[in-house]
Amino acid sequence: MPKKNLLPILLTAMTLGTTWAIRGQFGHEQGAAWAGAIACLMLVMVAKRSEWAESGLKASFFGAVGWGLGGMMSYGVLVGYGKSPDFLNASYGLLSLLVVGGLYGFLGGGLFGLGLTDSKERKVPWHQVTVELTVGGLIFYYFIIEQLGWLMTPPRSEAWGVCAGAALALAYFLYRSGYRNALRVALFSGLGAGFGFGFGNFLQTMGQLSGLTFNFWNVMEYSLGFFGGIGMAYGALTSSWQPAKKAAEKSVWPIYGLAVLIPFFVWEQSFWEKEITPMLEKVAPGQMEFWAKAIPVLAFLIWLGLLGLAWKKAKTLKNDLAVSTVSVLQSVCWSLFLAYLAYTFLITGSFMSGYRPEQFLYLVNFGLIWFLVPKSSAQFSGEGIQGAGIWKLFFLILGLLILLAAISSSLHEGLPGMQTRF
């Protein structure tokens, strides 16, 4: 792989790491979709590939949907298993997180890669993809979970089965339809996110053992995003993309999906008085009534700003054929990034208090990304880990996580939040 690609890979990793850590304040599908959207937009932006300029917005929207789908999965119990002083339980926890993180990355990277291949010459049958993923998810869930009773996260939700079925259906569709580049992006994205989740659980355990006062859960979230970003970027930059003979159509609907729909669901699901009252009791007990009303309004005004931006950019893109989609994509990417930063400071009250120091590290990450983006460009070589090498990487990750489980379980006699399955 050309050394030139190290910077765009790092920038994608830092972006998804930062936004996935922010996602921890919101959770669920909408928070994961927002984080995935920014990372996909960033990868298109720093790669500077002409064919991706036109398809980048659409691909980023589908990538956001893919990363967001995993938000239905429950994994809190699995994190507890990873903290166990028993080797079997700790191994089960880390390897289960490999599965959950892998499903996040496979669906996100796969749909993003599929979106990048969508063109006038070869239109992706998205209606067919939707049906196959839905049917695959339902069949897997009801056969594996309901009929066979293979439970991974009892007594929590087993929605991972839906994501697993959808991932298998997506893999089969990509393989039989010849979308090898998208499949490659999905595989590396899944391996990266899966390793990042398991490794992040190990880091969280080590952090708790250190006695330092810090949000080590957030460290775990950053790890998932960082390594998932590495995988997604590596898979995309080392694939053999064929130059499109005809430019993709300038679609404006992805702009509304990215900058309006996803942020609206985050606002609607997160910024209610009952959601922010526990935070206000810590940072502003004497001004709770004021901030309980002001914070949701401020968040809504930010959403209105995104709505105005989307309307303006969509109108310009539709009416002025000379306008480059790249400039629109850049505006959407940076606006979504800044809005997500603003949302996390509002939901945590960090603009009033420094009780959550990791929130300010997001700003450091953003500043570094902002500084390095202009220096980034990619060289698409089509050379990288292939075939058997992917299997070797998988088994290497498997062995490394088992080793980390052995180390972790041998260093303590039990930690707060630990769980026991066996």
Q: Hey, is 267 helix, strand or coil?
A: helix
pLDDT in single tens digits along all 422 residues of the chain: 778 899 999 999 999 999 999 999 998 899 999 999 999 999 999 998 888 888 899 999 999 999 999 999 999 999 999 999 999 999 999 999 999 999 999 999 999 999 999 888 888 999 999 999 999 999 999 999 999 999 999 999 999 999 999 999 999 999 999 999 999 999 999 999 999 999 999 999 999 999 888 999 999 999 999 999 999 999 999 998 877 666 666 788 999 999 999 999 999 999 988 889 989 988 888 888 899 999 999 999 999 999 999 999 998 888 765 567 888 999 999 999 999 999 999 999 999 988 899 999 999 999 999 999 999 988 887 777 788 899 999 999 999 999 999 999 999 998 999 999 99
pLDDT value at residue 52: 87
Residue among 45, 40, 44 nearest 19 (CA): 40
Angstrom distances, CA of residue 330 to CA of 43, 45, 316: 11, 7, 14
State the amino acid at position 408 in one-letter form: S
Check: CB of residue 29 under 8 Å from CB of residue 266.
Answer: no
Q: Which residue has the tokens 């053999």?
A: 240
Go through 219-245 and write b for each residue having 16 or more CB atoms within 10 A of its CB, e for each that does not: bbbbbbbbbbbbbbbbbbbbbebeebe
Q: Hey, is 78 helix, strand or coil?
A: helix
Check: CB of residue 101 under 8 Å from CB of residue 228.
Answer: yes
> If 0-12 CB within 10 Å is exposed, 13-18 middle and 19+ buried, where does residue 384 land?
middle
pLDDT value at residue 323: 63
pLDDT value at residue 44: 95
pLDDT value at residue 152: 95
| pTM for the predicted model, two decimal places | 0.95
> If 0-12 CB within 10 Å is exposed, 13-18 middle and 19+ buried, where does residue 364 land?
exposed
With a CB cutoff of 8 Å and minimum separation 6, the contacts of 134 are 166
Go through 37-73 and write b for each residue having 16 or more CB atoms within 10 A of its CB, e for each that does not: bbbbbbbbbbbebebbbbbbbbbbbbbbbbbbbbbeb
The DSSP call for residue 322 is T
pLDDT value at residue 385: 75
State the amino acid at position 238 in one-letter form: T
How far apart, in whole angstroms, are the C-alpha atoms of residue 85 and residue 407?
10
pLDDT value at residue 316: 86
Angstrom distances, CA of residue 139 to CA of 99, 146, 159, 165: 18, 10, 12, 7
Residue among 121, 40, 88, 57 nearest 310 (CA): 57
pLDDT value at residue 244: 66
How far apart, in whole angstroms, are the C-alpha atoms of residue 334 and residue 219?
23
With a CB cutoff of 8 Å and minimum separation 6, the contacts of 155 are none
